[in-house]
Amino acid sequence: MAIERTLALIKPDAMARKLEGKILDQILERGFRVVAMKKIKLDKYEAGCFYAVHRKTSFYDDLTTFMSSDEMIALVLEKENAITAWRDALGATDPAHAAEGTIRHTWGTAKNRNICHGSDCPDSAAYEIGFFFSGIEITRSNPEVSQ
Ligand code: UDP
Ligand code: MG
């Protein structure tokens, strides 16, 4: 298995509920290395660019309003098989269907106010990491990792 990087977001709902400490604990306890981390608030246009893949869905407008409603924490996480490992840690998109012990099952309240994001494949991870972080912020790297 290769060392990978993935983009995680602690979304506005989690921030409003002061869950960022608990989610950071989960990240560390589950063996991810935090390569980079920043607090950031997107505007609606930027949120739309981040979620451009969903632009034709019925939930796009609500999603981008939610994603631009408050600050988030963006993180680049590194681990063997990080993309799948972080998605597994999150659980299903709808917290009602997320497995016990997952982050979304434990703290999630509703599918349309998701508490965390995780990239879903290597191409998405590359786009999403580049969306939030510049090269110099993620340069302190493991040489095995390709961006
Ligand atoms: N979402 C929604 N309604 C839906 C499906 C998704 O509001 O029917 C939101 C949800 O907050 C999710 C985000 O859109 O986190 C992106 O959806 P995706 O299918 O990419 O889920 P994820 O990758 O976050 O599990
Ligand atoms: Mg997704």
In this prediction, residue 139 carries a pLDDT of 85
How far is the centre of ligand 2, averaged over its atoms, from the C-alpha of 68 (Å)?
16
Task: Give the environment of ion ligand 2: residues with CB less than 5 A.
Answer: 120
Distance between the two ends of the chain, CA-based, in angstroms? Answer: 16
Q: Are 20 and 14 in contact (CB under 8 A)?
A: yes
| Amino acid occupying residue 18 | K
State yes or no: is 54 an active-site residue: no
Q: How far is the CA of 117 from the centre of ligand 1 (A)?
A: 9
- pLDDT tens, position by position, 17-59: 999 999 999 999 999 999 999 999 999 999 999 999 999 999 9
Residue 97 Cβ < 6 Å to ligand 1: no
- pLDDT above 90 for 82: yes
Residue having the nearest C-alpha atom to atom 8 of ligand 1: 59
Q: Which CATH superfamily, name and number, covers 3-139? A: Nucleoside diphosphate kinase-like domain (3.30.70.141)
Instruction: Give the pLDDT confidence score for residue 145 in this predicted structure.
Output: 56
What does the pLDDT look like over 84-140, one tens digit per residue? 999 999 999 999 999 999 999 999 999 999 999 999 999 999 999 999 999 999 986
What φ, ψ does residue 113 adopt, rounded to 5°? -130, 55
